[in-house]
């Protein structure tokens, strides 16, 4: 199958060679990443067409022009992000996150465009949208606020039928109403007691729904945690499957052994730049959260992507996952040197779901418009990647040996800031 965009490119004459477009950029990345994880050409072509269709006319927008809007999805405002989800003993899963209403600066218009895309997907793959429809008045008011209206993610699976996720903005009616919006959404979806199971929050950046082909569809609430420490991270999990030792290891390996600290503050290492997020999943028939995820914005706590890859490599190795898939994934995204920028690896996440192996997900920026320069404040004494990975592995072992699996949850006061990018 040939897309219209590809047809235009192939038929252009030598004197009318088209400029590189957003569609060219993200479609090429998707193809290369698909080959990296073993997706067939047929599946990758289908998913690529869905991606281009959802971006509509802006897929043809030349990259020589600035972004159509200041998308909250990525630091350079590209409306597409990829991720690789790794599990021990299983093939990695490629995902793509998209803001379909990217070209609309008005959030109400962006929401309408996004809803049209989701309903077209529902017709294509024959899944209901009842849950989304039940929340429409909560998340899509006439005068919507906030940095996003609707995102979707596709879990790209062999056979051409993905898992579909929809991300909504609880602050659409104002950040002061976000907690109430989340609580009401959970009630309408049949989880009346779920809000009380959530930890203290600095904000609620997203509520997500699983639509389509999922064995156990989830409702997920994302919570921001400014000034998080490793102890805080261990205390935030409400799932019995998660292990404090692994969470502590992950925190230190992803964020660094000594994140920046405040003058005069206690000596506890805390994340003082972009805050960490946790995600709490609920599934039908479960009284307690069925899943817990810790998201660390690694790009704010490293000098460059070479260092970020070293940290991710240590984590994947520690959890008995193949670290080479991430290195190959980065090569599929860009030809630049990893030491020349920071943010290609945006987040690292440790995922627990009931009755499943832990998962590590790396969120990967498309960088269609900009490469963030290295953060030189991290440059002094920067070890070589191999030495760095060894140091991080040792750090993780030390953290694990000192972890207390019976750590009790302590009270914390959080600021009201909430940001993913």
- Residue 268: pLDDT band by 50, 70, 90 thresholds? confident
**Mean pLDDT of all residues in the chain?**
86
Looking at residue 376, its pLDDT comes to: 80
pLDDT (tens digit, 9 = 90+) per residue, 140-170? 999 999 999 999 999 999 999 999 999 999 9
| C-alpha span between 201 and 352 (Å, rounded) | 20
Annotate the chain with three-state secondary structure. Answer: CCCHHHHHHHHCCHHHCCCCEHHHHHHHHHHHHHHHHCCCHHHHHHHHHHHHHHHHHHHHCECCCCCCCCCCCCCCCCCEEEEEEEECCCCCEEEEEECCCCCCCCHHHHHHHHHHHHHHHHHHHCCCCHHHHHCHHHHCCCCCCCCCCEEEEEEECCCCCCEEEEEECCCCCCHHHHHHHHHHHHHHCCCCCCHHHCCCCCEEEEEEEEEECCCCCEEEEEEEECCCCHHHHHHHCCCCCCCHHHHHHHHHHHHCCCCCCCCCCCCCCCCCCCCEEEEEEEECCCCCCCEEEEEECHHHCCCCHHHHHHHHHHHHHHCCCCCHHHHHHHHHHCCCCHHHCCCCEEEEEEEEECCCCCEEEEEEECCCCCCCCCCHHHCCCCCCHHHHHHHHHHHHHHHHHHCCCCCCCCCCCCCCCCCCC
pLDDT (tens digit, 9 = 90+) per residue, 300-344? 999 999 999 999 999 999 999 999 999 999 999 999 999 999 999
Q: Mean per-residue pLDDT for 406-419? A: 25
Looking at residue 370, its pLDDT comes to: 97
| C-alpha span between 258 and 255 (Å, rounded) | 8
> Residue 258: is its pLDDT beyond 70?
no
Q: What is the pTM of this model?
A: 0.85
> Residue 16: is its pLDDT beyond 60?
no
| C-alpha span between 78 and 81 (Å, rounded) | 8
- Residue 239: pLDDT band by 50, 70, 90 thresholds? low
Ranked by mean pLDDT, which of 18-22, 400-404, 411-415 comes out on top?
18-22
> Residue 242: is its pLDDT beyond 60?
no
Looking at residue 187, its pLDDT comes to: 96
Q: Mean per-residue pLDDT for 250-264? A: 74
Q: In the chain, what percentage of residues exceed pLDDT 70?
A: 81
> Residue 183: is its pLDDT beyond 80?
yes
CA dihedral sign, ordered 16, 21, 27, 32: positive
pLDDT (tens digit, 9 = 90+) per residue, 87-107? 999 999 999 999 999 999 899
Looking at residue 287, its pLDDT comes to: 80
Looking at residue 398, its pLDDT comes to: 36
Q: In the chain, what percentage of residues exceed pLDDT 90?
A: 76
CA separation, residue 122 to residues 59, 79, 161, 190 (Å):
22, 21, 11, 22
């Amino acid at each position: 199958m040939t897309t219209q965009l590809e047809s235009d490119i192939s038929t252009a004459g030598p004197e009318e060679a088209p400029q590189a477009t957003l569609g060219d950029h993200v479609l090429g990345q998707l193809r290369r990443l698909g080959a990296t994880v073993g997706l067939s050409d047929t599946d990758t072509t289908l998913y690529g067409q869905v991606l281009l269709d959802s971006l509509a006319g802006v897929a043809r927008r030349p990259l020589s022009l600035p972004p159509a809007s200041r998308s909250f999805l990525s630091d350079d405002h590209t409306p597409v992000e990829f991720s690789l989800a790794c599990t021990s003993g299983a093939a990695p899963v490629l995902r793509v996150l998209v803001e379909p209403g990217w070209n609309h600066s008005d959030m109400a218009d962006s929401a309408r465009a996004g809803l049209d895309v989701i309903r077209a997907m529902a017709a294509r793959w024959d899944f209901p949208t009842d849950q989304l429809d039940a929340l429409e008045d909560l998340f899509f008011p006439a005068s919507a606020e906030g940095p996003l209206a609707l995102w979707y993610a596709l879990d790209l699976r062999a056979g051409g039928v993905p898992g579909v996720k929809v991300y909504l903005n609880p602050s659409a009616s104002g950040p002061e109403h976000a907690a109430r919006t989340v609580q009401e959404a959970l009630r309408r979806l049949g989880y009346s007691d779920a809000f009380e199971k959530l930890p203290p929050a600095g904000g609620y950046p997203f509520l997500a729904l699983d639509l389509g082909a999922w064995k156990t569809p989830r409702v997920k609430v994302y919570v921001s945690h400014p000034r998080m420490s490793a102890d805080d991270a261990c205390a935030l999990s409400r799932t019995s499957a998660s292990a404090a030792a692994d969470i502590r290891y992950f925190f230190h390996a992803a964020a660094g052994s000594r994140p920046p600290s405040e003058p005069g503050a206690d000596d506890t290492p805390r994340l003082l730049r972009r805050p960490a997020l946790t995600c709490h999943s609920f599934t039908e028939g479960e009284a307690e959260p069925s899943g817990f995820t810790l998201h660390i914005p690694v790009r704010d706590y490293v000098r460059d992507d070479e260092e970020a890859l070293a940290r991710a490599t240590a984590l994947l190795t520690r959890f008995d996952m193949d670290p080479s898939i991430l290195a190959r994934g980065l090569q599929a995204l860009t030809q630049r040197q990893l030491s020349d920028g920071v943010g290609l690896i945006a987040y690292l996440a440790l995922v627990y779901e009931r009755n499943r192996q832990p998962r590590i997900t790396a969120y990967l920026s498309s960088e269609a418009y900009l490469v963030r320069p290295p953060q030189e404040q991290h440059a002094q004494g920067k070890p070589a990647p191999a030495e760095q990975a060894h140091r991080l592995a040792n750090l993780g072992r030390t953290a694990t040996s000192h972890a207390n699996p019976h750590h009790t949850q302590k009270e914390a006061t959080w600021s009201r800031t909430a940001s993913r990018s």
